[in-house]
């Protein structure tokens, strides 16, 4: 756990404002930060050989991007400023729990691929107080433990025990932040762009590293979206194969058929037979099944099962005709 004395960093103004360096707001998302960095590539030394001022500017830009594009470093910077980035104590922070969410998708989504915008509710570090819980980030270190949250049993050493005076916080807040009521975090909404890749199945996971619940005491955990593929009215998936049922009349089963199947992405699969089709028989069509996640150009099979609809009853005339066409012997 980061020693409480790092909270002192929150009181000092960082020597560089990384957000200003990249020209983005403090609530900028990853895409905005990446876009800003690409835009500032004009300062790259290769484009400005011999220009020391531009080279120094690019070093500053690169450093700002390195911090703001990394969720862990960005959280440290937001709370403790630039000094906190360079302090090794930050690595002692624990990682938050992974948050998992289920997403229902259609079979067509995992056949062709799809993009889903998913918004979730999560705790976020209060931007007003930068996670200190104090108004204007004004805090006072505990005089007993010196901001560590623990003290020794003897003046010159001994066992370390929890500090009773500050309750192990290491500091006191004279006035709470009005935005978070001293809780250091506020409830917020975060929207994720989830890319559903062709060939994914129920149980497939899409992970967003370091985008979980925020708290100044730990690094954010991950967000994991797990797919749940809904049943389809026409197709049933079994591995990389698709199964479909086609109904034939008695006439079609005896004299042949020509059918069209509308696939998941709307393209038409034509099937036909000029001879007899047995009830419950199957027709296998290669490369019309699900794409594989390893190689989207490879697909499974479409397996069509035929069901023959027999008439509920026959007239006497029809019976006699069938007897003539299909003698008993």
**Residue at which a domain ends, from 73, 92, 111:** 92
Provide mean pLDDT across the span 24-30.
Answer: 87
CB burial string 110-120: b at 16+ within 10 A, e below: bbebbebeeee
In terms of pLDDT, which residue wins out, 43 or 215? Answer: 215
153 lies in some domain: no
Identify the weakest region by mean pLDDT among 9-13, 66-70, 93-97, 169-173.
9-13
**Tokens 């029809």 — which residue?**
318
252 lies in some domain: yes
What domain count does the chain have? 2
The count of other CB atoms within 10 Å of the CB of residue 72 is 16
Which of these, 143, 176, 171, lies nearest to 8 by C-alpha position? 171
| Per-residue pLDDT at 82 | 74
Distance separating alpha carbons of residues 172 and 7, to the nearest angstrom:
11
56 lies in some domain: yes
Q: What are the DSSP calls for 45-80, one per residue?
A: GGGSTT-HHHHHHHHHHHHHHHHHTSHHHHHHHHHH
Distance separating alpha carbons of residues 306 and 66, to the nearest angstrom:
60
User: Which domain does 241 fall in, by range?
Assistant: 235-325
Counting runs of H as helices and runs of E as strands, what totals does the chain give? 8, 17
Dihedral, 33, 36, 40, 41 alpha carbons, nearest 10: 70
**Residue at which a domain ends, from 92, 123, 141:** 92
The count of other CB atoms within 10 Å of the CB of residue 312 is 5
**Residue at which a domain ends, from 66, 92, 118:** 92
288 lies in some domain: yes
| Per-residue pLDDT at 88 | 58
Q: Are 188 and 179 in contact (CB under 8 A)?
A: no
Q: What's the pTM value of the predicted model, to 2 decimals?
A: 0.73
Distance separating alpha carbons of residues 147 and 6, to the nearest angstrom:
9
**Mean pLDDT, rounded, of the chain:** 86
Provide mean pLDDT across the span 141-165.
Answer: 79
Distance separating alpha carbons of residues 294 and 314, to the nearest angstrom:
54
- Whichever domain contains 319, its CATH number is 2.60.260.20
188 lies in some domain: no
pLDDT at 296 over 90: no
- Whichever domain contains 79, its CATH number is 1.10.287.110
Give the C-alpha distances (Å, rounded to integers) separating 265 from 7, 112, 126, 259, 291.
56, 7, 45, 18, 12
């Amino acid at each position: 756990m980061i020693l409480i004395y790092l909270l002192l960093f929150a009181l000092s103004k960082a020597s560089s404002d990384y957000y200003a360096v990249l020209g983005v707001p403090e609530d900028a998302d990853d895409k905005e930060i990446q876009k800003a960095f690409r835009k500032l590539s004009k300062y790259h030394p290769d484009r400005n050989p011999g220009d020391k001022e531009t080279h120094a500017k690019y070093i500053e830009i690169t450093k700002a991007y390195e911090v703001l594009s990394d969720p862990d470093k960005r959280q440290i910077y937001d709370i403790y400023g630039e000094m906190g980035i360079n302090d090794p104590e930050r690595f002692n922070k624990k990682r938050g729990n992974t948050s998992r969410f289920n997403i229902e998708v259609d079979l067509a989504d995992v056949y062709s691929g799809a993009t889903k915008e998913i918004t979730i509710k999560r705790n976020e570090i209060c931007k007003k107080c930068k996670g200190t819980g104090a108004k204007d980030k004004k805090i006072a270190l505990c005089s007993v433990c010196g901001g560590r949250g623990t003290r020794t049993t003897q003046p010159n050493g001994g066992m370390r025990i929890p500090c009773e005076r500050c309750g192990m916080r290491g500091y006191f807040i004279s006035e709470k932040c009005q935005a978070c009521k001293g809780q250091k975090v506020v409830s917020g909404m975060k929207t994720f762009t989830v890319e559903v890749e062709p060939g994914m199945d129920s149980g497939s996971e899409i992970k967003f590293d370091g985008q979980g619940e925020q708290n100044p005491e730990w690094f954010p955990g991950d967000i994991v979206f797990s797919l749940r593929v809904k049943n389809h009215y026409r197709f049933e998936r079994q591995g990389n194969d698709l199964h479909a049922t086609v109904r034939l009349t008695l006439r079609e089963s005896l004299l042949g058929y020509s059918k069209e199947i509308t696939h998941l992405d709307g393209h038409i699969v034509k099937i036909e037979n000029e001879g007899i089709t047995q009830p419950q028989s199957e027709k296998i069509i290669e490369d019309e099944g699900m794409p594989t996640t390893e190689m989207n150009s490879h697909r499974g099979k479409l397996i069509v099962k035929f069901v023959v609809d027999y008439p509920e009853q026959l007239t006497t005339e029809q019976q006699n005709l069938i007897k003539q066409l299909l003698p008993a012997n």
